[in-house]
């Protein structure tokens, strides 16, 4: 039976810097309510993992955080998403601006069919940056941050599609970083990758968190335990428990969490 039914709020707003928070966030697809009011706070420069069985609402929640659900026709998102004292779920807020601050990396690597260099410079040039020295500098810095530089520095004109899946995913991370976000959302970024590529991405994430706040959805509980500082467990569209990762995996407060992390379902 449930030891306790509510989740503990481990972050004290006065003590920690909160990069992003949601307040009673609900998502409907037509008549179907997929997310039933989720309130969570994300601490700056930490990695938070969202875990839960298939269909529990992790991607729905993550996609709401940078207004990607705006692109899903039937999705209706209500509640607040607070970022820098602004409710970015409000209709007046420019979604492109939101996505510049809150970047996203998807499950399948999706580089543009362009050169490695252009994958990074494309959006910047579209935004009016044409200083080639500056652009080269950004290419180098972001590829280093994504732990890809050493492997591609002599081949920047090569097609991104010629890279391995893991390299493509790191390029997508570099591409997201080029827009200088301060939050990075990752939806199962390693699920299509082999163990070595996965380890490379996890390594890159540890370095990235010095400068970015990362929110990652993962099906892989070992991965959540390895990379994240905090873990939020979702079940059937609800946030069941949120806590420091090591507590979620060793001493969860809610029976359902314990059942899930010990592999009893999902």
Ligand X SMILES: Nc1ncnc2c1ncn2[C@@H]1O[C@H](COP(=O)(O)OP(=O)(O)OP(=O)(O)O)[C@@H](O)[C@H]1O
Where do contacts with Mg ion occur on this chain (CB under 5 A)? 59
Measure the CA–CA gap between 170 and 109, rounded to whole angstroms: 8
Tell me, residue by residue from 2 to 31, as one string, x for binding to ligand X by CB under 6 A and - for no binding: ---------------------------x--
β-strand pairing of 47-51 with 32-43: unpaired
When asked if residue 72 is in the footprint of ligand X (CB under 6 A), the reply is yes
Q: What is the DSSP string of 1-46?
A: --S-SSPP----TTTS-EEEEEEEEEEEETTEEEEEEEEEEEETT-
Q: Which does 54 bind (CB under 5 to 8 A by kind): Mg ion, ligand X, none?
A: ligand X
Which two three-digit tokens encode residue 36? 């039933």
Give φ, ψ of 253 to 5 degrees: -90, -20
Q: Which H or E element spans position 18?
A: strand 18-29
Q: Shortest distance, CB of residue 265 to ligand X, whole angstroms? A: 13
Tokens of 164: 């391995």
For the bound state, the minimum distance from the C-beta of residue 29 to ligand X, rounded and expressed in Å, comes to 3
Select the residue interacting with ligand X from 6, 74, 203, 206 (CB under 6 A): 74
User: If contact means CB under 5 to 8 A according to the sort of partner, which of Mg ion, ligand X, none does residue 197 touch?
Assistant: none
| Residue 52 binding ligand X, by CB under 6 A | yes
d(CA 12, CA 10): 6
Identify the residue among 1, 14, 54, 113 touching ligand X (CB under 6 A): 54
Does residue 192 bind ligand X (CB under 6 A)?
no
Residues that bind ligand X (CB under 6 A): 29, 34, 52, 54-60, 72, 74, 219
């Amino acid at each position: 039976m449930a030891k306790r039914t509510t989740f503990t709020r481990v972050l004290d707003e006065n003590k920690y810097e909160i990069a992003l928070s949601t307040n009673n966030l609900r998502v409907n697809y037509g008549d179907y309510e997929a997310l039933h009011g989720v309130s969570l706070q994300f601490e700056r420069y930490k990695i938070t993992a969202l875990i839960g069985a298939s269909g529990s609402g992790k991607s729905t929640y993550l996609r709401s955080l940078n207004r990607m659900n705006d692109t899903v026709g039937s999705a209706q998102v209500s509640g607040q998403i607070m970022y820098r004292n602004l409710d970015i779920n409000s209709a007046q807020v420019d979604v492109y601006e939101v996505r510049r601050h809150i970047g996203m990396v998807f499950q399948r690597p999706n580089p543009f069919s362009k050169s490695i260099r252009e994958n990074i410079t494309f959006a910047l040039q579209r935004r009016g940056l044409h200083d080639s020295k500056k652009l080269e500098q950004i290419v180098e810095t972001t590829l280093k941050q994504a732990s890809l530089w050493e492997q591609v520095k002599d081949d920047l004109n090569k097609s991104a599609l010629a890279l391995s899946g893991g390299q493509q995913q790191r390029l997508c991370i570099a591409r997201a970083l080029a827009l200088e976000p301060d939050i990075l959302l990752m939806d199962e970024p390693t699920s299509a990758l082999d163990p070595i590529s996965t380890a490379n991405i996890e390594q890159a994430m540890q370095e990235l968190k010095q400068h970015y706040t990362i929110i990652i959805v993962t099906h892989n509980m070992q991965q959540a335990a390895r990379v994240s500082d905090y873990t939020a467990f979702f079940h059937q569209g609800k946030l069941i428990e949120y806590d420091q990762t090591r507590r979620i995996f060793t001493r969860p407060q809610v029976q359902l969490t314990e059942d899930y992390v010990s592999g009893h379902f999902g």
